[in-house]
Structure formats: structure tokens, C-alpha cells
């Protein structure tokens, strides 16, 4: 007997379907719920139009300080009592801030979700926000950011963002601010942000077994006592590119790896090219067998991993390649990376590569959307970007039907190897001299 | 209307695994576990090989993990790069991990590709050696060295685990060295060693194949026979060195590291009980009471109360190792201006409180509620379930015993926690690893 030598064929595929979506409205807010029969846990996310983009210049990080202050007690109970009430349900509050939204998430066993949502709403709508607590949380956040910035990556990210979005106000500083901007946040800033944006109803996303969840009660819990109209979204920032490629060194003495961040601006999420752009980036740097990972990791052994992707929000977009490479091969790794980006831009993709990319992206819609948390995340994409309920079925079809011509055109149009900003965070004493070949070299003081 | 929140009560669960489990064993010794769930059109294929870094002899640290990388580089009928391409190119997610106890490989696929996944796994179980080349070894050695740099060397405190293990486990103990291995040993790795490694350990009788999701036991059993049935049994696989230890250390030990770190940090660690024992269940609940969540004693007393520890970097957890008393790790990072001695004294006091102050019902129920949610989150994917069943089949001989873990956690009493604390948390058995900011000497 021996191993089976021929690769088996494909069995019969079951049709793809996103969970059924139901809606309930109350007090100006809407519950958007996905039915996951049999799931023992349920997830709920209060989604508020209060992202980092609403922060004041120079006070970047205000929303993050607010997010971390929500659990410092409410008008009804102090922080210790709040923690015990919530954690006694097996739930934890997950407040987060992105460019477009402020989210407060909880997950809990299905019968306890209503209580968890009541507590999440209590913290979101009526936090105590005692000035001494807020000031302490702000100081702790400055320390936490300094801890984070001691890791490789955050300073390189900040340098890239500052260069790409230099003229775009809030977007030119990190999502959660930096140690300087957070230190400048005042208690009044935090209170004002809460008053202006967190008392509006917003949307409650729910993913769970809807046969056992009372959406009307969840709507009451989330929206009772709120006020305010939905906000008009601001327009896109547009795609501005520099005249030529440039290089920024972020010094990290004695670093055994160089952290690479190469990027340029790209369209926002609403672009009609979303699917071909995603597939082009998958071929270039998304899949394990992508051009970048194959060459830089599997052939050259320069890195543990390298990724290229488009990141898009409601108003902004950017293309980015990210990797950590051994210090000694910094320049060769950048050279090879630029080579693969240039090749993809100029020559597009092949059918064999695209076949992997399309099937992977389409398959991931079922493989990676099994949990209530993942489904709640998928619902948020629908709500934030105004997409229809059958969007994921359409998206899957669009992935599978994308042609080499579509994707190659998107690569040509939305990659710009000569306009990249190349950020290298590493040991300047060792790598500085070899970076000039990649474009005018400056050093970031971060 | 005032929203009413029901008062928390201790959760109950009769089983932690309310899905069917069926098992069989092929004549060559491969154990096959199937758990059908038709909810989503996805299926996970998972293999646990009962080989980890605990099997590595001196001079070969890091070999089990480096070998895991080689398993993705082609086999007898799968060309180099084809494995990843076939899994991702058919919509799947895949990975593998190595730890001291074992090595696991897994892919979650749209269910129409179940047979492909089984074929790929069988080909690298039965046909890796003919495809293994020096070029592949040299390349993956560099990748793994970069993994070591990225995860352990280039990040503040990144080598804490590498430093704790030799303090926790004596020279020659299978857990003494870290799975990532040393640069010296990785550099010395020879092709023949890896060929021999595969022949020795990657045997059907040293593995458990688990399939969870959109399929039936009958289909999986038939396909397992078709693809894995021809792979020969390996007789007399040598066990890892014996890890038996008398529980906690006999004397305290400390190490202080001056490094480029942004703040002083302390790791306290104790050897406890092996994963899977009643003692370790008590330690799991204890670790949750002590350091999981804002309601934990560490957070309430050091981050909130005395405010000497940074709130984002405080906690405690057990490392679930099954072949020797497993470590409990307790960590805190000093706030600006707090002397590291004050932080250590504060930590020691909170740890001691688990011995001196009875655990309240509120604390116990909070911990059990959090563990319950964590458990259900862990089994909310077919991938999470497959790995769980593979673990229990490999380590305890019966995948169905996975269902008992959650009920056993929920049966832990306040007295059990205190007894466990008295046994494992004594200062005389403590490992203390401290990082202080400064130029490395």
C-alpha cells in the first residue's frame, strides 16, 4: 500500500448565505441583529458615530481616554461594583475607537446578554467621569502609550501617517494619539466629547440566537434616554501623492530587526474598485503565497512575515506594506519589496495567482465568520458603509467573478511605487547610509 | 424606568461539549475523532502529534518547532509552495504551532474541500522525507531565526518566558528550555537530524486526527482509511524524558535584568500541578480570581487601590502544560515613580492574601462566570473545537473528557482555591524575574 498520489477533487459546495438580519427601532436608535441559531454566546456592540476623526487638533487621544474612563464608575455604582456586576455575568466591556466610530462591545451567554447590554449602556450613557478619575486615566494612558512606543512598530506607523496625511488635520496623527497629544487632553475635552457624541442613540449590533433574545428589550436598554439626530458623514479626503518617493529613518539603536512600513494614499472604502484592489493586494502581499511573502520570506529568508494591504475608512485609504527584517538585510529587503510592487503595478496579476486570491477571499467569508464577534464585526461594516443586507452574498460573487483585467487595471491605478513613503525603524548607525538609494532621506524625531 | 440587573449567581453547566463525538482507530494506530456540526458550511481538520520541545535532547533545542516549518514546504506529491496555495486557494485558513508538549497542524476549509485537506495532511505525514532538501532547511532556519528576533529579542520584556523556564525547571528537565530554541542549536541543525525526527515521531500511532464541522463520522472514517491507511506504524517511539517533579520548587530564586525597557516589571512564577488534574483546575480558578479582569484582586488592589501598577499590564494566568507541574505566572508593571521594591511588596501581599483571606462567593462566582464565557468562546469555532478534542485525545486518551473541564472548574470551591494557594504560592517556592530600565551590562 502507498500514499494516494493524486489530489482529490472538490465535493459539492453548499450555497453561501450570510445570517438573516432583523431590525428593531426605538428612541431614534436601531438594533441590527443577525440570527445565529444554536450559538451559546451572543455579542452586542453599541456603534456610535464618534470616531477619532471627531477629536480636536492637538488633543488626539481624547476618545481613547474617554473609552478607558467609562469603567471608572457610573452615576449608579462605583468602579469596583461595576466590575463585579459585569464580570459576574461573565462579560467584559470592550470599548474601542477607530477612525469612524466609537464602539462599546460585550459578549455573554445568550440569557445574560440583556443584562450585559444594560450595563454597557449605563457606562456609555451615564458614566460618572469624576475629574480626578479622568485625569488619572489620562496619565495612565500616556504611560501605556510610552510602553507601546517602546515596541518596534508604533513609531514607524506614526512617521508614515504623518507623512501621508500631513495636510489632513486629525488624520496625520495616530488613531489613539501620541504621548504628547494625550498628555495635552484635559478633563473638559473628555467631558465635552462625551456630551457631544455619546448621548446620541446610534446603532446596536447584535449577533446571536435571536429566538432567545428580545430585540425590543435590547433596544430599550441601548437607546432609552438618548437624544440627537444622525450625523451627516463628511466627504472623502481624496488621494494626494507626493512628487517622488522618500525615505524616513526612525532610529532604534541596537535593534536586531528593521521595521519596514512602505505606503501611499489610496481611495476610501466606498471606491468602486474595492474588490479588484483587495484582490490585487492579496496577490501582492495578502496570501501566504503572495509575491512579497514568497520572495522575502520563503526564498530569501529575510523575515518571519511580510504583508501588503489596502486599509480603508469612510473618508480615507492607504496602501501599506509591513514587515520586520533582519538588520543586516534591510536594504536588500527594501529593494526586493519595491521590485515586487513595481512588477505588480506594471504587469498586473496572472490567472494562476488570481485564482488563489479569489477563492481565498470568497472562502474566508464563511471560514472567518463563525463566531458572534465576527458576525457583529461584519454587521458593523454594513452599517458604517451603508451597504445592503445582501452585501456579503454580492461580495462573494464579485470576488469569484473578478477577471485578470479588472485586477491588473486596479493594480496599475492604485499602486504607485515611485510615490511611496519608505519608513524604516531600525539601528540608524548600521543602516543609515544604505537608505539614501530609496529616495530623499530624512529622520523622524519621535 | 430603571434598568434592573439581575444579581450574579454561580453558573452551572452539565457539559462543556454539547456536540456529538465519534472515534475510531485505524489498524496503523491513527486515532480519528469526528464531531459533526452542520451549522456552517465549514470543516476543520486538525492533527496533534505527540511530540514537542520536551522531546529535544541537549544541543537540539528548537528542532521540533523548526521541523513544524518544514512541514509546509512540500512532500512526496505536493510540490514546494503548493501546500499553502492549495489550502488558501480553496478558501481555507491554516496554521500550526509547537509548544513544549506537542505540535499541532490545522486548517479550516469550506466543507467541499475536506478531502483535499486530508490528502495534504496524509502526504506530509507519510511522505515528507523524500521532499526535504538542504535548501528548504537553510531557508526555514533563517525564517525561524527571524521569528526569534521578532518575538523574543526585539521587543521589551520579550525574553521573559525564555528566562522563566530555566528558573522554574531544573537542568535536564523537558521543560527547562524554550520551544523557540537557541540560535547556536538552530545554526547547527543538520538535514539528517530532521529526516530522522520525522521518521521517529510523525507516525500514525503518534497522532490524533480530529475533524469537526460539516461532515459525518462515516465520511471521515472512510476518507481517513483511504488517505492515512497506508502509512506504516512506527514501533517503539521513545517517550520524552520523565517530567515528574514534586510540585513547587524547594527554594526561592530570583533574577534581575537591566534592559532597555520602558518601565520596571516583575514576573512572579510558581510551579503548580499538571494541566488536567483537580489541583490545576483549582489553580485555573485561582488565577482568574487573582488576576483576570478589573474585578480581580490584583487589579482592585494594585491598579485601582494603591495605584502602584499600570492598569493595562497586570494579571495572572496558568500555562496549560500537561507533562509536569505547570507554571502560574503573575505579572505587574510599575507606574511612573513607583520603586520596584514597592511593586514587589505589593504583589507579594496580594498573592499572600489568597492564603490568608478566604475567597468570597462574589469572587468565586465572578471567576466562574468569566471562565464560562471564555470556554464557550473557545468552542465557538470548528477550529477551537477540533483542537480541544485533539488535546484531550492525545493527553488523556479520550476526547469526550473535554466535556468535563468546564463542569470541573465550576465545581471548584473556595476551600479548594485556598488549599491550592497554600500548596503552590509559598514565597519559598517562588521564581522572581525583575526587569529594570537601564543600559544592558
How far is it, in rounded angstroms, from Cα A354 to Cα A359?
8
Residue B4: per-residue pLDDT: 39
B222 and B278: one domain? Answer: no
Strands A257-266 and A317-326 turn out to be: antiparallel
CB A42 within 8 A of CB A108: yes
Residue A1: per-residue pLDDT: 55
- In the numeric block, the cell 532604534 is attached to A252
A1 to chain B, closest Cα gap in Å? 5
Between B2 and B158, where is the model more confident?
Answer: B158
pLDDT (mean) for B396-407:
97
Contacts of B310 in chain A (CB under 8 A): 140, 143-144, 147
Residue A251: per-residue pLDDT: 98
Nearest residue in B to A288, CA atom? B84
Q: Which CATH architecture has domain A21-223?
A: 2-Layer Sandwich (3.30)
Q: Which residues contact B366 (CB under 8 A, 6 or more apart)?
A: A84, A87, A88, B8, B289, B293, B295
B190 lies in a domain? yes
Check if B111 contacts A (Cβ < 8 Å). Answer: yes
CB A381 within 8 A of CB A387: yes
Q: Which of B225, B214, B232, B234 is nearest to B118 (CA)?
A: B225
How far is it, in rounded angstroms, from Cα A118 to Cα A125?
10
Identify the three-state secondary structure at position B395: helix
Q: Which of B271, B385, B322 is nearest to B101 (CA)?
A: B322
Q: Of chain B residues 298-317, which have a CB less than 8 A from chain A?
A: 299-300, 304, 307, 310-313
Check if A364 contacts B (Cβ < 8 Å). Answer: yes
Contacts of B335 in chain A (CB under 8 A): 140, 143
Contact A10 B112 (CB under 8 A): yes
Nearest Cβ partner for B294 among A10, A71, A363: A71
- In the numeric block, the cell 501599506 is attached to A320
Contact A301 B293 (CB under 8 A): no
B158 and B33: one domain? Answer: yes
Question: Which alpha helices (DSSP H) does A150-196 contain, by range?
Answer: 154-164, 179-183, 187-193
* Confidence class for position B5, pLDDT limits 50, 70, 90: very low
DSSP H or E stretch at residue B25:
strand B22-25
Residue B3: per-residue pLDDT: 38
Q: Mean pLDDT for each consecutive 10-residue tract of chain A (446 residues)?
A: 88 90 97 95 97 96 98 97 97 96 97 98 98 97 96 97 94 96 98 97 97 98 93 93 97 97 98 98 95 96 97 97 97 98 98 96 94 97 97 97 98 98 98 95 92
Evaluate whether A21-223 and A246-443 have a shared fold.
yes
B234 lies in a domain? no
How far is it, in rounded angstroms, from Cα B354 to Cα B435?
25
pLDDT tens-digit series, residues B306-348:
999 999 999 999 999 999 999 999 999 999 999 999 999 999 9
pLDDT (mean) for B174-194:
94
B189 lies in a domain? yes
pLDDT tens-digit series, residues B217-259:
999 999 999 999 999 999 999 999 999 998 899 899 999 999 9
Domain boundaries defined on chain A = 21-223, 246-443
Question: Residue A99: how many CB atoms within 10 A of its CB?
Answer: 17
Contacts of B11 in chain A (CB under 8 A): 90, 109
Identify the three-state secondary structure at position A293: helix
- B/e letters for B49-68, b = 16+ CB within 10 Å, e = fewer, are bbbbbbbbeeebbbbbbbbb
pLDDT over 90 for what percent of chain B?
A: 95
> Structurally, how many domains does chain B consist of?
2
* Confidence class for position B1, pLDDT limits 50, 70, 90: very low
Contact B260 A150 (CB under 8 A): yes
Check if A412 contacts B (Cβ < 8 Å). Answer: no
Q: Of chain B residues 9-48, which have a CB less than 8 A from chain A?
A: 11, 39-42
Contact B146 A370 (CB under 8 A): no
B258 and B112: one domain? Answer: no
Nearest residue in A to B138, CA atom? A301
CATH number at residue B407: 3.30.830.10
* Confidence class for position B8, pLDDT limits 50, 70, 90: very low
CB B30 within 8 A of CB B207: yes
B16 lies in a domain? no
Q: What residue numbers bound the domain in which B69 lies?
A: 22-228
pLDDT over 70 for what percent of chain B?
A: 97
Residue A147: per-residue pLDDT: 96
Check if A88 contacts B (Cβ < 8 Å). Answer: yes
Question: Which alpha helices (DSSP H) does A284-350 contain, by range?
Answer: 291-292, 330-347
pLDDT (mean) for B201-207:
98
Residue B11: per-residue pLDDT: 59
B312 lies in a domain? yes
Distances from the Cα of A286 to the Cαs of A154, A311, B72, in angstroms? 21, 12, 18
pLDDT (mean) for B209-215:
97
For chain B, the average pLDDT equals 95
B328 and B206: one domain? Answer: no
Question: Residue A191: how many CB atoms within 10 A of its CB?
Answer: 16
How far is it, in rounded angstroms, from Cα A40 to Cα A38?
6
Instruction: Tell me which of A111, A142, A333, A363 to substitute to probe the interface with B (most B C-beta atoms closer than 10 Å).
Output: A363
Q: Which of A94, A95, A96, A98 is nearest to A51 (CA)?
A: A98
Instruction: Tell me which of B86, B142, B146, B227 to substitute to probe the interface with A (most A C-beta atoms closer than 10 Å).
Output: B146
Residue B31: per-residue pLDDT: 98
Contacts of B230 in chain A (CB under 8 A): 1-4
Among B181, B212, B228, residue at a domain's last position? B228
Check if A370 contacts B (Cβ < 8 Å). Answer: yes
Residue B374 has pLDDT above 90, yes or no: yes
A116 to chain B, closest Cα gap in Å? 8
Q: How many residue contacts between A and B have a Cβ separation below 8 Å?
A: 243
Residue B247: per-residue pLDDT: 86
pLDDT tens-digit series, residues B128-175:
999 999 999 999 999 999 999 999 999 999 999 999 999 999 999 999
CATH number of A246-443: 3.30.830.10
Strands (E), B205-321: 207-213, 253-259, 265-271, 315-318
B133 and B67: one domain? Answer: yes
B108 and B59: one domain? Answer: yes
How far is it, in rounded angstroms, from Cα A245 to Cα B393?
56
Amino acid at each position: 500500500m502507498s500514499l494516494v498520489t493524486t489530489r482529490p477533487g472538490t465535493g459539492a459546495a453548499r450555497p453561501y448565505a450570510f445570517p438573516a438580519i432583523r431590525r428593531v427601532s426605538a428612541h431614534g436608535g436601531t438594533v441590527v441583529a443577525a440570527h445565529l441559531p444554536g450559538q451559546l454566546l451572543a455579542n452586542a456592540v453599541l456603534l456610535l458615530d464618534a470616531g477619532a476623526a471627531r477629536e480636536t487638533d492637538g488633543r488626539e487621544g481624547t476618545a481613547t481616554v474617554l473609552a478607558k474612563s467609562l469603567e471608572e464608575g457610573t452615576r449608579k455604582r462605583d468602579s469596583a461594583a461595576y466590575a463585579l456586576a459585569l464580570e459576574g455575568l461573565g462579560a467584559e466591556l470592550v470599548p474601542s475607537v477607530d477612525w469612524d466610530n466609537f464602539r462599546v462591545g460585550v459578549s455573554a451567554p445568550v440569557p445574560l446578554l440583556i443584562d450585559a447590554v444594560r450595563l454597557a449602556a449605563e457606562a456609555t450613557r451615564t458614566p460618572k467621569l469624576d475629574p480626578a478619575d479622568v485625569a488619572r486615566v489620562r496619565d495612565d494612558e500616556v504611560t501605556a502609550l510610552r510602553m507601546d512606543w517602546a515596541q518596534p512598530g508604533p513609531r514607524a506607523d506614526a512617521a508614515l501617517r504623518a507623512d501621508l496625511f500631513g495636510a489632513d488635520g486629525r488624520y496625520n496623527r495616530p488613531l489613539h494619539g501620541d504621548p504628547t497629544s494625550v498628555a495635552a487632553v484635559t478633563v473638559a475635552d473628555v467631558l465635552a466629547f462625551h456630551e457631544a457624541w455619546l448621548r446620541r442613540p446610534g446603532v446596536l449590533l447584535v449577533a446571536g440566537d435571536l429566538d432567545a433574545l428580545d430585540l425590543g428589550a435590547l433596544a430599550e436598554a441601548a437607546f432609552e434616554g438618548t437624544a440627537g439626530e444622525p450625523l451627516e458623514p463628511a466627504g472623502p479626503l481624496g488621494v494626494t501623492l507626493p512628487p517622488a518617493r522618500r525615505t524616513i529613518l526612525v532610529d532604534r539603536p541596537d535593534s536586531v530587526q528593521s521595521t519596514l512600513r512602505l505606503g501611499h494614499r489610496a481611495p476610501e472604502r466606498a471606491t468602486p474598485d474595492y474588490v479588484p484592489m483587495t484582490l490585487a493586494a492579496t496577490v501582492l502581499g495578502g496570501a501566504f503565497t503572495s509575491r512579497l511573502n514568497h520572495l522575502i520570506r520563503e526564498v530569501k529568508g529575510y523575515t518571519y512575515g511580510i504583508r501588503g494591504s489596502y486599509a480603508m475608512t469612510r473618508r480615507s485609504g492607504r496602501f501599506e506594506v509591513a514587515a520586520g527584517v533582519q538588520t543586516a538585510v534591510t536594504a536588500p529587503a527594501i529593494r526586493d519589496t519595491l521590485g515586487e510592487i513595481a512588477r505588480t503595478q506594471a504587469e498586473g496579476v496572472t490567472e494562476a495567482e488570481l485564482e488563489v486570491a479569489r477563492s481565498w477571499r470568497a472562502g474566508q467569508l464563511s471560514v472567518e465568520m463563525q463566531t458572534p464577534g465576527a458576525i457583529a464585526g461584519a454587521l458593523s461594516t454594513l452599517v458604517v458603509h451603508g451597504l445592503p443586507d445582501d452585501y456579503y452574498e454580492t461580495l462573494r460573487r464579485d470576488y469569484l467573478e473578478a477577471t485578470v483585467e479588472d485586477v491588473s487595471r486596479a493594480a496599475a491605478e492604485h499602486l504607485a511605487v515611485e510615490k511611496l513613503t519608505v519608513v524604516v525603524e531600525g539601528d540608524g548607525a548600521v543602516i543609515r547610509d544604505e537608505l539614501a538609494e530609496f529616495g530623499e532621506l530624512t529622520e523622524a524625531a519621535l | 424606568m430603571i434598568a434592573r440587573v439581575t444579581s450574579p449567581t454561580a453558573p452551572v453547566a452539565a457539559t462543556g461539549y454539547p456536540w456529538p463525538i465519534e472515534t475510531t482507530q485505524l489498524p496503523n494506530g491513527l486515532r480519528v475523532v469526528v464531531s459533526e456540526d452542520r451549522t456552517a458550511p465549514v470543516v476543520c481538520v486538525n492533527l496533534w502529534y505527540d511530540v514537542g520541545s520536551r522531546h529535544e535532547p541537549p544541543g537540539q533545542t528548537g528542532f521540533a518547532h523548526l521541523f513544524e516549518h518544514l512541514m509546509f514546504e512540500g512532500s512526496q506529491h505536493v510540490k514546494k509552495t503548493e501546500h499553502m496555495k492549495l489550502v488558501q486557494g480553496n478558501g481555507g485558513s491554516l496554521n500550526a504551532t509547537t509548544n513544549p508538549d506537542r505540535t499541532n497542524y490545522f486548517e479550516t476549509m469550506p466543507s467541499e474541500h475536506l478531502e483535499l485537506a486530508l490528502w495534504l495532511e496524509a502526504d506530509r505525514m507519510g511522505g515528507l522525507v523524500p521532499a526535504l532538501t538542504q535548501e528548504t532547511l537553510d531557508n526555514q532556519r533563517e525564517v525561524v531565526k527571524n521569528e526569534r528576533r521578532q518575538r523574543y529579542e526585539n521587543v521589551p520584556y520579550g525574553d521573559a518566558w525564555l528566562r522563566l523556564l530555566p528558573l522554574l525547571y531544573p537542568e535536564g528537565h523537558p521543560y527547562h528550555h524554550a520551544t523557540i530554541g537557541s540560535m547556536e542549536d538552530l545554526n547547527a541543525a543538520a538535514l539528517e537530524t530532521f529526516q530522522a525526527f520525522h521518521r521517529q515521531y510523525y507516525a500514525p500511532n503518534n497522532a490524533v486526527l480530529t475533524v469537526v464541522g460539516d461532515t459525518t463520522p462515516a465520511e471521515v472514517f472512510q476518507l481517513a482509511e483511504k488517505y492515512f491507511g497506508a502509512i506504516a506504524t512506527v514501533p517503539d517511539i521513545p517517550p520524552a524524558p520523565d517530567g515528574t517533579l514534586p510540585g513547587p520548587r524547594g527554594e526561592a530564586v530570583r533574577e534581575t535584568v537591566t534592559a532597555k525597557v520602558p518601565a520596571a516589571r516583575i514576573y512572579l512564577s510558581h510551579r503548580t500541578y499538571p494541566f488536567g488534574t483537580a489541583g490545576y483546575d483549582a489553580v485555573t480558578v485561582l488565577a482568574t480570581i487573582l488576576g483576570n479582569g478589573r474585578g480581580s484582586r490584583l487589579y482592585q488592589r494594585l491598579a485601582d487601590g494603591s495605584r502602584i501598577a499600570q492598569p493595562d499590564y497586570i494579571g495572572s494566568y496558568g500555562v496549560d502544560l500537561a507533562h509536569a507541574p505547570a507554571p502560574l505566572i503573575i505579572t505587574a508593571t510599575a507606574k511612573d515613580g513607583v520603586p520596584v521594591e514597592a511593586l514587589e511588596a505589593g504583589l507579594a501581599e496580594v498573592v499572600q492574601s489568597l492564603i490568608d483571606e478566604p475567597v468570597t462567593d462574589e469572587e468565586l462566582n465572578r471567576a466562574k462566570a468569566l471562565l464560562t464565557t471564555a470556554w464557550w468562546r473557545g468552542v465557538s469555532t470548528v477550529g477551537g473545537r477540533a483542537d480541544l478534542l485533539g488535546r484531550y485525545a492525545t493527553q488523556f486518551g479520550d476526547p469526550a473528557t473535554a466535556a468535563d473541564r468546564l463542569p470541573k472548574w465550576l465545581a471548584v470551591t473556595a476551600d479548594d482555591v485556598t488549599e491550592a494557594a497554600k500548596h503552590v504560592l509559598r514565597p519559598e517556592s517562588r521564581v522572581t524575574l525583575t526587569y529594570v530600565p537601564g543600559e544592558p551590562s
